[in-house]
Chains A and B, each alone.
Chain A
Amino acid sequence: MSNTVIFTALASGVIVWFLIASRLTAKSWESQDEKGDVGAIHTAPERIGLWIFMAVVTSLFSLFISAYAMRMHVGAWCHITIPNILWVNSLVLVAASIAMQRARWAADHGSRSGARAALVMGGMLSVAFLAGQLVAWQQVGPSVYFISGSPAIAFFYVLSAAHGLHLIGGLWVLGRTVSRFAAGAELVDLRLSLQLCSVYWHFLLLVWLVVFGVLLYL
């Protein structure tokens, strides 16, 4: 549980920092002016929402990894042989992340077609990643027996499935953005979606690399 405690400590740290930055020591009964600034962060609520959601997902994965680390020391544990395709998948996901970043840059520079192409590219690479994960599933164990046989393999399935589901959720948002492109939305209106998509993809890449690292080295 220690890494989860560290994570929640960090999260609490961020919250406390934010609160202190919001002048939590103010004696609010002493001033009665109409304050223009209420300490809200000047950004889109969607961005705040995404960051909070990523905190929730981080909590989820750090708990899974805590469980992995604790379970490892208990008994009947044998390490998983990592299928080589996971290295390829990781590269594909890195490429997807780069593509999402390119889409964001293109949008910042006003290139509608460039943004759209990079976005679609990112989506396709992500689908390729998911397909690769399915192949890895096949290689790790062709039958349910392997899930029950070794906890490490079961953890591999659970962690990769959880990660894959989050990626599918991202793809749904990405699909909506692509369809807004198709419907002819202004690039200015799409910039926020592109930014959030790229942030989320980088985040999921990070999560995957951590998960992969755990499977490799723990």
Chain B
Amino acid sequence: MAIAVVLVLLVVGSVIFHFMSPWWFTPIASNWGTMDDTVILTFWVTGIVFVVVNLFLAWSVMRYRHRKGQKADYEPENKKLEWWLTGITTVGVAAMLAPGLFVWGKFVVVPKEATIVEAVGQQWHWSFRLPGQNGELGFTDESLITPDNPFGVDPADPNGLDDILIASPELHLPIGKPVKVLLRSKDVLHNFTVTQFRVKMDIVPGMITYLWLTPTVIGEYELMCEELCGLAHFAMRGRVVVDSQEAYDTWLTSQSTFSQTQALAAADPAAGATQYAVCMACHGPAGEGNQALNAPRIAGQSAWYLQRQLNNFRAGVRGAHEQDTFGAQMRAFAAMLPDDTAIRNVAAHIASLPGSMAQSTVTGDVNRGKTLYSNCVACHGASAQGIWALNAPRLAQMSDWYLERQLNNFRSGIRGAHRQDYYGRQMAFMADVLADERAIDDLISYINTLKPEDNQVLASRRGF
């Protein structure tokens, strides 16, 4: 008896929940409104079946529950009824399948006028490549990937020279233009999902997959990986920005092509040495750092990482948070570097400084720290030497008080919260894993025990 009432309540409750649910499709931002329509059509068909069958079930339980003297009917089968039900079900199934296949037919065939964008997935970052004037992407090969050629574009392929490379995980698309997104992975499976676009597709190493769409609403959208890709899967985020044509063109012209990145003169550490004079006051002549001045050790840190941080300071991506007093200080100094070349030179100089191992100031439980470090090892490396390919800087033998402060900053949103600080955002995700001050101390005290081999450090500094 109670079960019949509960079944009715569940049916009514589910229907109410359906219509009242605060969780529903995000506002669509692509041409795939028809996909939403198929979902809604399926909701109607299945919803009617759900209500009818369950109410009939509830009614049967109520009406035919055992009472004294009641006897069940004897009816082994009823062919007519069974065939009717089969027929109606078939019609319902066909009514859902046909529109679905029709829309899928549109998805399978990419319109001829679609432009091409390549999205590259790697553990746990996004980057993008657009064809240049000739509209064709150059050939790529995993074996060509180096720090100077992170996309593995084949320099021998003329089509690749004018390819536009976007190393940061933010892709811009012009509104109203169909775009075919080619998907390539450097390591494991990933998935390209922008919820507001509805379409998604896995990225499979060893092959190129694709999807296509036409963005229809200007805005910024979260790009997520939706195929489990390892430890930091949940932190593999990017952004797709749909621009007006003018804004898109402006953005596009500010990006550099493959040949431009290849033509960049090698950084000049000697020139950087002059620039370094400004840094020396705080960070020390050998880049050894000075805790009293809140300046961390920078010697031995990788050039690519120093460059990124200097750029971030300069652009206000880092150090702009009101509570980041030391960052604000650094912003002022970073602003003294006139241009990219200066930044590259000074970073190269710093990376070449011998430096000495920083004093350890943090004490904690090394064994517990070792367990905690298993969350860090994938990116920062077994000896915390830093891994260029994962955008992870060196931690070992760097100033431990500084690591502590930064971990706290990440956890409290002082660092990594800026919308343009993509890599910082990822670190903020991971820093949340640490429970409290003690966990941080334990972790850092373990990092203090790590001694990367010289060749590891060199590899990391050179960017391998």
Contacts and interface: CB of A to CB of B under 8 A. Distances in A.
Are A and B in contact, CB atoms below 8 Å, in the complex?
yes
Interface of A: 27, 29, 74-75
Interface residues on B, range: under 10
Nearest to B74: A29
Contacts of B76: 27, 29
Q: What DSSP secondary structure best describes chain A's contact surface?
A: loop
Nearest to B207: A74
Across the A-B interface, the 3 shortest Cβ-Cβ residue pairs:
A29-B76, A75-B206, A27-B76
Contacts of A75: 206
Interface string B194-210: 00000000000010000
A173 B255 CA distance: 71
4 contacts: A27-B76, A29-B76, A74-B206, A75-B206
Contacts of A29: 76
B71 to A, nearest CB: 17
A127 B206 CA distance: 42
A88 to B, nearest CB: 38
Nearest to A30: B76
Nearest to A28: B76
Contacts of A74: 206
Interface in B69-93: 76
B74 to A, nearest CB: 9
Contacts of A27: 76
A86 B206 CA distance: 34
B114 to A, nearest CB: 27
A29 B206 CA distance: 59
B83 to A, nearest CB: 15
A67 to B, nearest CB: 15
Contacts of B206: 74-75
Interface string B54-78: 0000000000000000000000100
B464 to A, nearest CB: 23
A100 to B, nearest CB: 45
A32 to B, nearest CB: 13
A74 B206 CA distance: 9
Nearest to B76: A29
Interface string B178-215: 00000000000000000000000000001000000000
A28 to B, nearest CB: 9
A140 to B, nearest CB: 25
A74 to B, nearest CB: 7
B24 to A, nearest CB: 38
B180 to A, nearest CB: 23
Nearest to A75: B206
A128 B206 CA distance: 42
Interface string B76-120: 100000000000000000000000000000000000000000000
Interface in B19-78: 76
A74 B204 CA distance: 13
A120 B76 CA distance: 58
A83 B76 CA distance: 65
B184 to A, nearest CB: 15
A194 B196 CA distance: 67
A27 B75 CA distance: 12
A71 B299 CA distance: 49
A40 B302 CA distance: 76
A29 B74 CA distance: 11
Nearest to A27: B76
A75 B141 CA distance: 14
